[in-house]
Chains A and B, each alone.
Chain A
């Protein structure tokens, strides 16, 4: 089969991105080190004090401590429920809003911010009044409350992700090639939203693992509630548990960012940060001349 494109043509076009430009290597000025140092001191001293107060022995005690296992398991279960429900609800919703109701995006943003604005106690009373009987007094209800609480974060992550690529054109391209809606969502939209979905997941998990007010008002002993309850019994153990929780959450965040960035480098997608998905990559490709 003959090649129609001339060899010359292939030569004249330079690939959009041929490695990292040399100018991008960071040079660290002295003031940057100073800022880093101040931040490290600010965050490091409380952590160090906590470690010192708890002592290493407390860490080994935490796991065997009464009801630690059940509290931690409950928190994980809630995190799972909240994450799955949040994604199942929010991914199609945000895609739909983006494609079909772009004018309502402002409105959606306003709605999704409500859980932050409304005091938790008001939310809870509302939920208790509205929830069907079979859910009340089960932890699943708390899971649903967490879905609401994580909505602002999840929506913003997904919205930023959707803005980082031309969803409409990709969806139309996919349709014209014979893919129906479910296939398009699964093979085209979600893979390109992966970093946004990951950041929505992390934020939801972090929120659930740290939420205290709703859990204690609903009378469930989640991990944070457990920490507070046992502070009275054993200060060092509860501090050790807090540090452990902090460490686990931090590890999760790092994992997401690392994995997200790696896939972004591979596919040229947007860079992951937790609250937004950078769109600089896209605009660079768009704006450059060949």
Chain B
């Protein structure tokens, strides 16, 4: 099957795209400045056919600018964006054949859910009957058949975003662009919708670029996650790799929870931290001289209630099966430690504890603040 999903296709929604039939999206050395602010700095990114890549970063990191350049709502000062090898820079947004779901509710208020979904097909000059048939299929797919005749103001926020998703998918876009589509929704609906997005995306095999500031969202549904900072891609990797082997300190601290504990080099490849010697990820970095901090995840630390230990519990947060304990160590260092809730009953604020590192697990190091 070819990857060109242009106008006038009559076939059904599903089954139209087999596994891996999506398009390749490539951004090469894309830069964009707004006045003195460099929103994108030499960004290169490739999204493989059928892949879902998330761009994750704090607000102002350039992730939305990147998405808008791909969509055609912004232009790049330099660099190219290609879809299946074809440069789309001169192509206006209306002709890019990309489906987009926006952060704010973007359904046309003057049209019913069904007409919203059929709008893109109408622009592609499809007949009224094939439009309504396909719109019905897509609404069925997002579970909103019963709401087909309702206007957007009669739908809840989550329903509106599902219609928006159906609308974006109706045109069988070459690339699906998701601009924080879940951030206006409340927690429970957000969780359901993100799973729905992922399962639809996988079933249709649509190449997808997903922008979010929510790391949990990015890590949970993406094939790969690109962490951005100051217009640059810090690291792009699978969620597990990002979590376990962060390439930079920024990534380490932005993705998941990370403790910084003062340590010192011990031999060639080890560091001494909390009384144990542990190996360093990828060996000892050459550019780190002087004092160092060791980066350890909450699950990489051990904790025991011990009279006269090296820390005092200051806080505990129940997370379900786990409980997160905040401990103040000597030297005014605060660390977070995860413990199964059943084993954490005696770790109450004020309790004296002994915190250590799980032996043998490699850790990251960084220059001390």
Complex CA–CA separation, A175 to B145 (angstroms) = 26
Complex CA–CA separation, A285 to B157 (angstroms) = 8
* A34 at interface, CB cutoff 8 A: no
B99 touches A15 (CB 8 A): no
Q: Smallest Cβ distance from A8 to chain B, in angstroms?
A: 9
Contact residue among B106, B108, B119, B162 (Cβ-Cβ distance under 8 Å from A5):
B162
- Among residues of B, the one whose C-beta sits closest to the C-beta of A270 is B109
B110 touches A192 (CB 8 A): yes
Q: Answer whether A192 and B109 are a contact pair too, CB < 8 Å, given A4-B196, A179-B94, A267-B151.
A: yes
Number of interface residues of B (CB under 8 A): 59
B154 touches A173 (CB 8 A): no
Q: Give chain B interface residues in 124-157, CB to chain A under 8 Å.
A: 124, 137, 140-146, 150-157
* B181 at interface, CB cutoff 8 A: no
A169 touches B102 (CB 8 A): yes
Q: Answer whether A5 and B144 are a contact pair too, CB < 8 Å, given A173-B100, A180-B94.
A: yes
B99 touches A16 (CB 8 A): no
Residues of A within 8 A of B5 (CB): none
* B276 at interface, CB cutoff 8 A: no
Complex CA–CA separation, A281 to B154 (angstroms) = 12
B143 touches A4 (CB 8 A): yes
* A172 at interface, CB cutoff 8 A: yes
Complex CA–CA separation, A172 to B73 (angstroms) = 7
Q: Smallest Cβ distance from B138 to chain A, in angstroms?
A: 9
Q: Answer whether A175 and B93 are a contact pair too, CB < 8 Å, given A9-B192, A14-B156, A290-B189.
A: yes
A178 touches B94 (CB 8 A): yes
* Proximity bits, B143-182, A CB within 8 Å = 1, else 0: 1111000111111111100101001100100000100000
* A49 at interface, CB cutoff 8 A: no
A290 touches B157 (CB 8 A): yes
* B199 at interface, CB cutoff 8 A: yes
Q: Give chain A interface residues in 90-125, CB to chain B under 8 Å.
A: none
Q: Smallest Cβ distance from B259 to chain A, in angstroms?
A: 34
* A66 at interface, CB cutoff 8 A: no
* B14 at interface, CB cutoff 8 A: yes
Q: Smallest Cβ distance from B325 to chain A, in angstroms?
A: 32
* B96 at interface, CB cutoff 8 A: yes
B153 touches A176 (CB 8 A): no
Complex CA–CA separation, A15 to B188 (angstroms) = 16
* Proximity bits, A144-158, B CB within 8 Å = 1, else 0: 000000000000000
B154 touches A5 (CB 8 A): no
B171 touches A178 (CB 8 A): yes
Q: Smallest Cβ distance from B355 to chain A, in angstroms?
A: 39
B141 touches A177 (CB 8 A): no
Residues of B within 8 A of A5 (CB): 142-144, 162, 192, 196
* A269 at interface, CB cutoff 8 A: yes
* B71 at interface, CB cutoff 8 A: yes
- Among residues of B, the one whose C-beta sits closest to the C-beta of A265 is B153
Q: Answer whether A170 and B153 are a contact pair too, CB < 8 Å, given A3-B140, A4-B196.
A: no
* A191 at interface, CB cutoff 8 A: yes
A177 touches B156 (CB 8 A): no
Complex CA–CA separation, A15 to B160 (angstroms) = 10
B123 touches A183 (CB 8 A): yes
Number of interface residues of A (CB under 8 A): 41
Residues of A within 8 A of B75 (CB): none
Residues of B within 8 A of A191 (CB): 108, 110
Q: Answer whether A12 and B189 are a contact pair too, CB < 8 Å, given A1-B137, A169-B102.
A: yes
Residues of A within 8 A of B96 (CB): 176
Contact residue among A173, A180, A285 (Cβ-Cβ distance under 8 Å from B153):
A285
* A10 at interface, CB cutoff 8 A: yes
Q: Give chain A interface residues in 167-226, CB to chain B under 8 Å.
A: 169-170, 172-180, 183, 187-188, 191-192, 194
Q: Smallest Cβ distance from A9 to chain B, in angstroms?
A: 5
* B369 at interface, CB cutoff 8 A: no
Contact residue among B7, B109, B158 (Cβ-Cβ distance under 8 Å from A290):
B158
Complex CA–CA separation, A213 to B144 (angstroms) = 59
* B310 at interface, CB cutoff 8 A: no
Residues of B within 8 A of A165 (CB): 109
Residues of B within 8 A of A10 (CB): 143-144, 146
- Among residues of B, the one whose C-beta sits closest to the C-beta of A9 is B192
Q: Answer whether A1 and B123 are a contact pair too, CB < 8 Å, given A13-B158, A269-B109.
A: no
A13 touches B142 (CB 8 A): no
B156 touches A15 (CB 8 A): yes
A290 touches B186 (CB 8 A): yes
Complex CA–CA separation, A3 to B167 (angstroms) = 16
Q: Give chain B interface residues in 50-97, CB to chain A under 8 Å.
A: 71-73, 92-97
* B301 at interface, CB cutoff 8 A: no
Residues of A within 8 A of B167 (CB): 173, 177
- Among residues of B, the one whose C-beta sits closest to the C-beta of A194 is B110
26 A-B pairs, CB-CB below 8 angstroms?
Answer: A1-B13, A4-B196, A6-B192, A14-B156, A15-B154, A15-B156, A16-B153, A16-B157, A172-B73, A172-B100, A172-B106, A173-B100, A173-B167, A174-B108, A176-B72, A176-B98, A176-B100, A177-B99, A178-B94, A178-B124, A183-B123, A191-B108, A192-B109, A268-B152, A285-B105, A285-B153
Q: B interface vs A, CB < 8 Å? A: 7, 13-14, 71-73, 92-100, 102, 104-110, 119-120, 123-124, 137, 140-146, 150-159, 162, 164, 167-168, 171, 177, 185-186, 188-189, 192, 196, 199-200
Q: A interface vs B, CB < 8 Å? A: 1, 3-6, 9-10, 12-17, 165-166, 169-170, 172-180, 183, 187-188, 191-192, 194, 266-269, 281, 285-286, 289-290
> Lowest 4 CB-CB distances: which A-B pairs, in order?
A268-B153, A5-B143, A177-B120, A178-B123
Please give 9 more A-B residue pairs, beta carbons under 8 A apart, in addition to A13-B156, A174-B108, A289-B186.
Answer: A10-B146, A177-B168, A178-B94, A178-B123, A178-B124, A179-B123, A192-B109, A192-B110, A290-B157
